[in-house]
Structure 1
Amino acid sequence: MVLLKEITRENFWDCIELSVTENQVEYVTSNAVSIAQSKVQPECIPLAVYDDELLVGFVMYCIDEDDGEYWIYRLMIDKHYQSKGYGKKAMKKLLEIIEQDKSHNKIFLGVHKESINAVKLYKSVGFDFTGQIFGKEHIMKLDY
């Protein structure tokens, strides 16, 4: 069963050692940078993705200070565990957490359009492009 767990002293090094495939590196910020970002931007919540006790990935989300909306800043599954359904299961778990907050009703994320598998994943759980572009990332939104 896929679980999202807090980053702790015990799993910190394992989380930062997770990596994506060579052709995905340009699309994904490292977990070390993401965890560091969460220390200077305490609104960011980093979580480890587990299949029971097996660490398979990393996510980070927040209520963005600029617009007051939920954003999924990171989702990555380690290269050894990709194409096994973990990305979709992790995304669904994360959406369950966010959607408990009834004071909001939409979630945003940015994606490189060239990252075809990521776009396909996000669309499969209900995200659609907004037409906005931030840097190299195209913005997607999910209404809930």
Structure 2
Amino acid sequence: MSHITIRAIDENNLNHVRKIQVKAHQRDFIETVDECLEEAELHKEWRPVSIYSDDDIVGFAMYGAFGENPDVWIDRIIIDDNHQRKGFGTAAIQQLIEIVTNKYDVRTVYLSFTPDNHFAKQLYEKLGFRFTEEYDPAGELIYEYDLTH
């Protein structure tokens, strides 16, 4: 497998990042990259990033910390339709967990996804995320990754 890195989005890669899209049957599961970037502009807590395999952009994600004693979220993990099923999502999530736990000095990380996204459920559970028995305002399942377990 290629080496995965998480990098900032800047003027050199923004146009390429905006072209990232999921497969047609996945479009109801997640916002577009442009919608994510718009949200990040409105809510400065979000940190949008690009996912690279070697020197090729293969995906997009956002992370952020919210609140006085921050809840840290990894959100909007999008692997481009041409790069799915190659292990990039798994590697990216593992790196994002390391990035956010170090950056925000937390032991718990949250994410959410639509209940119909069975592939995401399987992937996140395989990586050690567990359902909190809670739902976000949009009805998405909230999962947590607890480094103390």
TM-superposed deviation, 1:20: 0.3
Partner of 1:59: 61
In structure 1, stretches of 5+ residues that fail to align are none
Partner of 2:140: 137
Q: 1:66 to 1:22 in 2, by over 3 A?
A: farther
- Mapped partners of 1:51, 1:130: distance in 2: 32
TM (norm. structure 2) is: 0.91
Backbone CA RMSD of aligned residues: 1.5
Partner of 1:5: 7
Q: How big is each residue's C-alpha offset from its partner over 1:2-41, in whole Å with a ceiling of 9 and x where there is no partner?
A: 0011000111111111100111001111111111211221
TM-superposed deviation, 1:101: 4.3
In structure 2, stretches of 5+ residues that fail to align are none
For the Cα contact (< 8 Å) 2:23–2:81, is it kept in 1?
A: yes
The percentage of counterpart residues that share the same residue type is 26
Q: Which moved more, 1:116-125 or 1:45-54?
A: 116-125
TM (norm. structure 1) is: 0.94
